[in-house]
């Protein structure tokens, strides 16, 4: 099997391929012939793309000459791997002790409603991924929510929309992600799943 070399894309003979798949090929190439190459390859691919798409998984399987079912078997076995694309922004709600007792849990539930996703999921417009965090070291200002690297303190459930507003994604309709809780952000159906 011919392998793509580093300056991928110059040869005319090759069918057009998306750049992502060429990145995959390069990752696989670096681990060629190694025992147990699959896990490091998956890790690097996830680092490169943030998640493992169907196309990427199928390419890895083809290049490593393994059944796709075996690769997805490994991907779905380890919770570290995700097949859901990440949102542009990551919202993390602190559930450390201090935040928890000062209604962090309530904030999380309200965020779930506002975004229309559960923890670990991403809104359908890929604007926000919702996660929970351990203590962010700002216990005096609990409850704390981090959006990307910004720390928001003493968050109130009633002010969630304002909080999210500045991160609104360009392709978003209705003036912001925090619009009607279910309207613009349908529950992401690709999450979880039994694969």
Partner 1 sequence: MPTVNVNGRDVSARDDWSVLEAAQAAGYEIPTLCKMEGCSPLGACRVCMVEVEGQERLQAACSTPAFEGMVVKTNTPKVREALRTVVELLLSEHEGLCVFCDRDQDCELRQIAGNLGIHANPYEGAKPRRRFDDSVPGIFRDTGKCIKCRRCVQICNDVQGLGAIFPQGRGYDTVIGPAFGRSLSEVTCVQCGQCAAVCPVGAIGERNQIDEVWAALADPRKRVIVQTAPAIRAALGECFGYPPGALVAGKTNAALRRMGFDGVFETNFAADLTIMEEGTELLGRLAAQFRDHTRTHLPLITSCCPGWIAFAESLYPELMPYISTCKSPQQMFGTVAKTYYARSEDIDPADLVVVSVMPCTAKKAEAVRPEMYSSGYQDVDYVITTRELSTMINTLGLDFGELEAEEPDAPFGAATGAADIFANTGGVMEAALRTAHYVVTGRPLPGENLHVKPVAGLAGVKEAGVEFQNCREAWSFLEGVELSVAVAHGLGNARSLVESVRRGEKSYGFVEVMACPGGCIGGGGQPRMTSDEVRLARIKALYSDDEGKPSRASHENPHVQRLYDEFLEEPNSRIAHELLHVHR
Number of residues counted as binding partner 1 (CB under 8 A): 16
Q: Which is nearer to partner 1, 78 or 180 (CB)?
A: 78
Residue 118 binds partner 1 (CB under 8 A): no
Of 68, 51, 67, 57, the residue nearest 28 (C-alpha): 57
Residue 69 binds partner 1 (CB under 8 A): yes
Residue 66 binds partner 1 (CB under 8 A): yes
With CB under 8 A as the contact rule, the residue among 9, 40, 67, 183 that binds partner 1 is 67
Other Cβ atoms within 10 Å of 57 Cβ, number: 20
Q: How far apart are CA 128 and CA 114, in angstroms?
A: 11
Q: Where are the beta strands (DSSP E) in 104-188?
A: 128-133, 145-147, 150-152
Q: How far apart are CA 183 and CA 172, in angstroms?
A: 11
Q: Which is nearer to partner 1, 120 or 176 (CB)?
A: 120
CB of 20 to partner 1, least distance (A): 18
Distant-in-sequence, close-in-space partners of 105: CB < 8 Å, separation ≥ 6: 95
With CB under 8 A as the contact rule, the residue among 5, 9, 18, 77 that binds partner 1 is 77
Binding stretches for partner 1 (CB under 8 A): 54, 57, 66-73, 76-78, 193-195
């Amino acid at each position: 099997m011919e392998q793509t070399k580093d300056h991928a894309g110059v040869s005319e003979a090759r069918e057009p391929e998306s750049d992502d798949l060429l990145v995959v090929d390069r990752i696989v190439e670096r681990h060629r012939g190694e025992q147990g190459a699959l896990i490091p390859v998956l890790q690097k691919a996830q680092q490169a793309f943030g998640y493992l798409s169907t196309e990427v998984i199928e390419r890895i399987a083809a290049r490593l000459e393994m059944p796709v079912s075996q690769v997805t078997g490994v991907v779905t076995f380890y919770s570290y791997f995700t097949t859901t694309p990440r949102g542009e922004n990551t919202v993390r709600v602190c559930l450390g002790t201090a935040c928890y007792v000062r209604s962090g849990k309530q904030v999380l539930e309200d965020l779930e409603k506002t975004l229309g996703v559960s923890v670990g999921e991403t809104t359908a417009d890929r604007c926000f991924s919702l996660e929970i965090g351990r203590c962010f070291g700002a216990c005096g200002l609990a409850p704390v929510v981090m959006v990307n690297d910004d720390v928001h303190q003493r968050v109130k459930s009633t002010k969630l929309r304002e909080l999210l507003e500045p991160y609104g994604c360009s392709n978003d309709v209705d003036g912001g992600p925090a619009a009607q809780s279910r309207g613009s952000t349908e529950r992401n159906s690709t999450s979880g799943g039994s694969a």
